[in-house]
Amino acid sequence: MNLIKFLDEFTTDKMQEPMTCRRAMFGQLGSIGKKAALAAVPFGLATASNKAMAQSSGDVVGVLNLALTLEYLEDEFYAMALDSGVLSSNAKAEAIYQQISKHESQHVDFLTAAIEGAGADPVAKPSFDFTVGGAFDPFNENGAGQATAYAQLLALAQAFEDTGVRAYKGQAANLMGSAGVLTAALQIHSVEARHASEIRRLRGLEGWITGNQRGAGMPEATQAVYNGEDNISQGGVDVTTLGSGSPFTMDAATQAYDEILTRDEAVTIASLFIES
C-alpha cells in the first residue's frame, strides 16, 4: 500500500465535514472509559462511558480513530508482554509476540500518519490497565506467578485479536467510497485475523471460532468477544441448509464466517482496559 495514495483519499468529500464536529468528538474521546476499568465487569457490560466514540459512524476519521484506539491497546499490550519476562522461557511464544508487536506498532504509525494526513487529530493514546483493576496479572507484576501470567497473557491476546478482526469488519462498510482507505483497512483486518489464528493455535485451539465458544481457558469475562459468532444466517441464507455433510454442520457453518462487532460493542470491550 502506497501511503501517499492512501493519504490522497482524504481529499475526497468525506473529509469535508465541519471541523467543529470532529473536534467535539475528539474532546469527548479524552474522557472515555474512566469508569470502565472495574474488576470483574464482563466485557459486555461496561457501556455507560462508551457513548463518545459511538457517535460518528460513517465518518472516515472516526473509523480510523476507533481503529487507532484498538491498535494503541494492542501495541502497548504486546510491548509490555515482551518486556515482562513472562515469555522469555518460551521461544515460540516470544517470536510470535515479537512479530505481532511489530505489526501493531506499524498499524499505530500508519493510522496516525493517515489521520494527520487528513488534517485531523489522531485520538490521544489512553492509559491502559491490562490487569483490569487487579483481576488479571498478565505481566506477573503482582505475584501471580509465571504460569498463571503466561496463561493470562495468551488469553488476553486471543481476546484482543479476535476483537480486532470483528471490529475492523464492522467498520468496512463505513469506508465504502474511499477505496484506498477501505483497502488498507481490509489489509489490517486480515493481518489481525492471521494473528488471531496463530494465538488461538498457540493456546491449543483451532485458528477459527466455533459457534460462540470463547474456547478452553478463556475467562468468562471475554465472552462478549464471541457473542454472535454462532450466527448461521449469511445474507439471509441459512448456510447450514446449502447442502449435506460435514461442511453444513453448525460447527463448520459458524467457523466459515467471522461476524462483526459494532462500534459500540468494540468500544465496550476496549474500555474495560482503558483507565483514562
Rank residues 51 and 201 by Cβ distance to other proteins and give the closer one.
Answer: 201
204 binds other proteins (CB under 8 A): no
Distance CA 254, CA 241 (A): 13
The residue behind cell 441459512 is 238
Interface map 35-54 toward other proteins (x if CB under 8 A) = --------------------
Q: How far is the CB of 50 from other proteins (least distance, A)?
A: 22
Which of these segments, 44-52, 106-114, 120-128, 213-221, binds other proteins (CB under 8 A)? Answer: 106-114
| 107 three-state secondary structure | helix
Residues 122-181, interacting with other proteins (CB under 8 A): 165, 168-170, 172-173, 176, 179
201 binds other proteins (CB under 8 A): yes
What is the Cβ-side half-sphere exposure of residue 238, based on CA atoms within 13 angstroms? Answer: 6
CA angle (238, 258, 53) in 5-degree steps: 120
Distance CA 211, CA 230 (A): 4
Q: How far is the CB of 172 from other proteins (least distance, A)?
A: 5
Distance CA 157, CA 199 (A): 7
Q: What is the phi-psi region of residue 252: left when phi exceeds 0, alpha when psi lies from -120 to 50, beta otherwise?
A: alpha
- Select from 22, 3, 6, 59 the least CA-distant residue to 263: 59
Rank residues 4 and 16 by Cβ distance to other proteins and give the closer one.
Answer: 4
- Taking a C-beta distance cutoff of 8 angstroms, is the pair 240, 249 a contact? yes
Q: How far is the CB of 69 from other proteins (least distance, A)?
A: 16
18 binds other proteins (CB under 8 A): no
Distance CA 125, CA 104 (A): 14
H or E, element range at 234: strand 233-234
109 binds other proteins (CB under 8 A): yes
Distance CA 62, CA 264 (A): 13
Distance CA 236, CA 177 (A): 25
Q: How far is the CB of 74 from other proteins (least distance, A)?
A: 11
CA 40 to centroid of chain Cα atoms: 20
Kindly state the cell numbers that stand for 136: 488479571
Rank residues 36 and 196 by Cβ distance to other proteins and give the closer one.
Answer: 196
Q: How far is the CB of 24 from other proteins (least distance, A)?
A: 26
269 binds other proteins (CB under 8 A): no
Rank residues 65 and 112 by Cβ distance to other proteins and give the closer one.
Answer: 112
Q: How far is the CB of 17 from other proteins (least distance, A)?
A: 20
Q: How far is the CB of 194 from other proteins (least distance, A)?
A: 4
Rank residues 3 and 21 by Cβ distance to other proteins and give the closer one.
Answer: 3
203 binds other proteins (CB under 8 A): no
Residues that bind other proteins (CB under 8 A): 1, 3, 91-92, 95-96, 98-100, 102-107, 109-110, 165, 168-170, 172-173, 176, 179, 182-184, 186-198, 201, 206-208, 234-237, 239, 242-243, 246-249, 252-253, 255-260
